[in-house]
Structures are given as structure tokens and as C-alpha cells.
């Protein structure tokens, strides 16, 4: 692997496995007129973070926030627009697919839809054996033995070697995906919504399996999911994304107890808690409107059209992702008006009018009165009637 660029001192810290710096990924879309410039979907826009060895970095965010694009850019399934990805001391952001190939053993991916990522007409044994074939590592009986070892390790019956994916249940199919990713003892596995398609009881089985494998092989995970309680359970550090931006990064427990960014706060309050007492007590923040278009994202802070704390500065100036209110270096938030602990977002109303906040292109407009209007579209605490037993 002498032909791979060695990155300059940036990632000198031996503890760091992956360093992402100012990563940008735009997708061009059809322009609306011949002389008009091409538009871009700003899928991932200037994202930086660091993943330490043996840890799990969780990425949460809603549909269209760019979390999957980010994961696919890191594994170089997408070519990136600009920025730098340093993996294990090597800059992999621009290397060719050919030179990327040896590194693919070390960076693997697990996808959300286990059926969609398995060829239905091939036998499971040959699917899991693919990595060995592609990298010309083992063949014949040796390959079969190694595949069966992997199957056993992830909790599949090695005798089912000759079955087709359709003969397995959802949870078992996800185990097949895990086995395939594990073939070469990778250093990093990017898990893109690995348990979202599974029922809760099966979901817990797969989460435990991933945790066991991490311990056993010293794996590092990037865990992309929209389910906050799952992400909290598995992650050491969590990054929250909104419209292509990283809005907050913090150690898992800190993020969930002392969120700084109002978007994080709103997201946390929206999660239904499987505990009637907690769910009766909490003040739910219901956000205004919908996520704006990533083709023409709002100016300044991208969250400002929906933010209960929005002020003039949020419209004009983009906040930096940095430590706020005396937090440590590992807790950063991109917000001009970060939340203090125990603050109730429901008490806030934007200090700017609706007209200034409508900088969206999708036709989805903020409601006329600007935030605090009627139910379902306003930012106000959920009414909690006492009649619930």
C-alpha cells in the first residue's frame, strides 16, 4: 500500500481513526432554464468531525438531512465535492477507485434494507464469500470454512450455507449483512440505519450482536439512525445533522441531558418515551412547518425558519460549530443562542417576524403569524389533559 498518499500531520493523534474535514457533497439537479446556472442539492455542507478508535460515532437527523450521503461519502461510494477524509492516517478523499480497493477491506458498510442489499438469486454462502473472492483471499473449502465461521459468529446456522436470502427472516438477513461486512476484520463499519426495518425484539438482538462484535474485534462504528433512543444506547459520541449541516456534536449522555442547539432540543422532546409518567410530564416542542429545500437552504443558520429562539443574527450570520456556554472541547454546537440547561423552548417566541424568516424555495412557507399559532403548526407545549389514566 505504498502508493497511497500519506496525510500530513493533521491526524497525528494515534487515537483517531477517522477525521472528516469540511466535507461537502453537492448533487447537481436539472436547471430550470437554459441560461440559468445549475442548481445543486446541498446534501452535505461543510461537515467536520473526528471518530476515535474502538468507539461508536452516532449520526442522527431527519429524512433528507444528509446523514446517509455523509456515510456513503466516507466509504467513497460517492465522490466528494470538496473537503478531506483522513482514514487511519491516509487521506482517502481523492484517491482512485483502484487505489481505494485495498482500503475497502478496512472500511465496510451495513445497509438498512437487508433484502435490498442481498442478491435474491444467490445463495447466502456465496454472498458472504464475495469479499474473499473479490480480494482473492481464499477459495474452495477454505473459503467455505471461513464463511461458516462468520455465519456462526453472527448467530446464523452454518448449515444454512446453501439457502437463499428469501428463506431468512428480516433479522437473520441483517445478520448476513453483518457477516459479509465482517469478513476481513475491518477497522471501521458504517452502519446506515441497520435496525430501522426490524421489529423491536429483533432490533435488540442485532444491537447486542453489534456491541459484542465491537468488543471482540475492537471495531469502530459510525452508526447512522433516526431513532434517538437506539443511537443513545449504542453511541459514545453523537452528531446531530440538519439540512446538510452538523448542528451539534457531543458525548452521548451530555447531548441527551444538556442539548445546546434548539433543534436538538426539539428533536429530543419529540421522541415518544415508552413511559407514561415521563410522557405526561414532558413539554413537547412541536416545530413549525416542514424542513426547507436543500437546493436553496435558508440563509444564516439553516434552522432559523423553524426555530423558536430565532433572532436577526440567525438570519444574517451562519453560526460556527464550537463549544458554547463553557462546554468542553468535545461538545460543540452551531448556534448563536444556545440553550441553557433546564430551559423550556416552549417559552420562546422568535424575535423576528415571519416575513424575514421565509427564505425558502420549496413553496412550504412558514405560517403567516410566525410560529406561535394554532395547534400542530405552532411551537407550544402539548396540551396534557388530566383524563388519561
Residue 62 contacts another protein per CB under 8 A = yes
Tell me phi and psi for residue 363, to 5 degrees: 85, -5
Figure out which of the listed residues 22, 82, 208, 351 binds another protein, where binding follows CB under 8 A: 208
Considering only the stretches 89-97, 144-152, 173-181, 277-285, report the one whose residues sit in contact with another protein under the rule CB under 8 A.
Answer: 277-285
Residue 232 contacts another protein per CB under 8 A = yes
The smaller minimum CB distance to another protein, of residues 108 and 203, is found at 203
Figure out which of the listed residues 116, 276, 328, 353 binds another protein, where binding follows CB under 8 A: 276
Residues 129-168, mask of contacts with another protein (x by CB under 8 A)? ----------------------------------------
Residue 267 contacts another protein per CB under 8 A = yes
**Shortest gap between Cβ of 161 and another protein (angstroms)?**
19
Q: Which candidate, 342, 337, 331, places its Cα nearest to that of 254?
A: 331
Residue 30 contacts another protein per CB under 8 A = no
The smaller minimum CB distance to another protein, of residues 114 and 129, is found at 114
Residue 287 contacts another protein per CB under 8 A = yes
Is residue 222 packed enough to be buried (19+ CB in 10 Å), middle (13-18) or exposed (0-12)? buried
Figure out which of the listed residues 278, 326, 340, 341 binds another protein, where binding follows CB under 8 A: 278
Q: Which candidate, 384, 242, 251, 262, places its Cα nearest to that of 327?
A: 251
Cell of 137: 483471499
Residue 296 contacts another protein per CB under 8 A = no
| DSSP bridge pairs for 86 | 19, 91
Which alpha helices (DSSP H) does 271-350 contain, by range?
276-281, 312-316
Figure out which of the listed residues 81, 214, 279, 299 binds another protein, where binding follows CB under 8 A: 279
Query: CA distances (Å), 245 to each of 15, 56, 84, 177, 240, in order?
Result: 25, 20, 16, 29, 8
Residues 188-207, mask of contacts with another protein (x by CB under 8 A)? -----------xxxxxxx-x
Give the dihedral sign, CA 350/351/352/353.
Answer: positive
Figure out which of the listed residues 44, 230, 246, 339 binds another protein, where binding follows CB under 8 A: 230
Residue 254 contacts another protein per CB under 8 A = no
Considering only the stretches 71-79, 136-144, 223-231, 308-316, report the one whose residues sit in contact with another protein under the rule CB under 8 A.
Answer: 223-231
**Shortest gap between Cβ of 62 and another protein (angstroms)?**
4
Which alpha helices (DSSP H) does the chain contain, by range?
67-74, 97-104, 124-134, 140-153, 170-182, 200-217, 228-234, 252-257, 262-270, 276-281, 312-316, 354-357
**Shortest gap between Cβ of 43 and another protein (angstroms)?**
17
Q: Which candidate, 216, 171, 178, places its Cα nearest to that of 54?
A: 216
CA distance linking residue 175 with residue 186, whole number of Å = 16
CA distance linking residue 70 with residue 302, whole number of Å = 18
**Shortest gap between Cβ of 245 and another protein (angstroms)?**
16
Residues that bind another protein (CB under 8 A): 62-63, 169-172, 199-205, 207-208, 211, 226, 228-230, 232-234, 252, 256, 266-267, 269-276, 278-279, 284, 286-287, 289-291, 363-368, 374-377, 382, 385, 388-389
Amino acid at each position: 500500500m505504498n502508493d497511497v498518499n500519506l496525510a500530513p500531520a493533521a491526524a497525528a493523534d494515534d487515537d483517531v481513526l477517522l477525521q472528516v474535514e469540511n466535507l461537502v457533497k453537492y448533487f447537481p439537479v436539472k436547471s430550470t432554464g437554459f441560461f440559468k446556472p445549475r442548481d445543486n442539492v446541498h446534501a452535505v455542507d461543510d461537515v467536520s468531525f473526528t471518530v476515535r478508535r474502538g468507539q461508536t460515532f452516532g449520526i442522527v437527523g431527519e429524512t433528507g438531512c444528509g446523514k446517509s450521503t455523509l456515510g456513503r461519502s466516507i466509504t467513497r461510494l460517492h465522490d466528494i465535492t470538496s473537503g478531506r477524509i483522513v482514514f487511519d492516517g491516509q487521506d482517502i478523499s481523492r484517491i482512485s477507485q483502484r487505489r481505494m480497493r485495498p482500503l475497502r477491506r478496512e472500511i465496510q458498510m451495513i445497509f438498512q434494507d437487508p433484502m435490498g442489499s442481498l442478491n435474491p438469486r444467490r445463495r447466502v454462502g456465496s454472498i458472504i464469500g464475495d469479499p474473499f473472492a473479490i480480494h482473492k483471499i481464499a477459495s474452495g473449502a477454505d473459503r467455505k470454512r471461513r464463511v461458516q465461521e462468520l455465519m456462526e459468529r453472527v448467530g446464523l446456522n452454518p448449515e444454512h450455507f446453501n439457502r437463499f436470502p428469501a428463506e431468512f427472516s428480516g433479522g437473520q438477513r441483517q445478520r448476513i449483512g453483518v457477516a459479509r461486512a465482517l469478513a476481513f476484520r475491518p477497522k471501521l463499519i458504517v452502519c446506515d440505519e441497520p435496525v430501522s426495518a426490524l421489529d423491536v425484539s429483533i432490533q435488540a438482538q442485532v444491537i447486542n450482536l453489534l456491541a459484542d462484535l465491537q468488543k471482540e474485534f475492537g471495531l469502530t462504528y459510525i452508526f447512522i439512525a433516526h431513532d434517538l433512543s437506539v443511537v443513545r444506547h449504542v453511541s459514545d459520541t453523537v452528531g446531530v445533522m440538519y439540512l446538510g449541516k452538523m448542528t451539534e456534536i457531543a458525548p452521548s449522555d451530555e447531548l441527551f441531558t444538556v442539548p445546546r442547539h434548539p433543534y436538538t432540543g426539539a428533536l429530543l422532546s419529540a421522541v415518544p418515551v415508552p413511559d407514561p409518567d415521563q410522557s405526561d410530564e414532558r413539554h413537547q416542542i412541536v416545530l413549525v412547518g416542514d424542513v426547507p429545500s436543500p437546493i436553496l437552504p435558508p440563509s444564516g443558520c439553516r434552522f432559523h425558519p423553524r426555530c423558536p429562539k430565532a433572532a436577526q443574527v440567525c438570519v444574517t450570520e451562519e453560526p460556527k460549530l464550537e463549544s458554547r456556554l463553557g462546554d468542553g472541547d468535545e461538545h460543540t454546537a452551531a448556534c448563536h443562542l444556545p440553550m441553557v440547561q433546564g430551559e423550556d423552548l416552549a417559552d420562546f417566541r422568535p424575535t423576528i417576524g415571519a416575513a424575514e424568516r421565509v427564505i425558502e424555495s420549496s413553496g412550504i412557507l412558514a405560517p403567516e403569524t410566525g410560529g406561535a399559532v394554532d395547534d400542530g403548526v405552532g411551537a407550544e407545549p402539548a396540551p396534557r389533559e388530566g383524563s388519561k389514566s
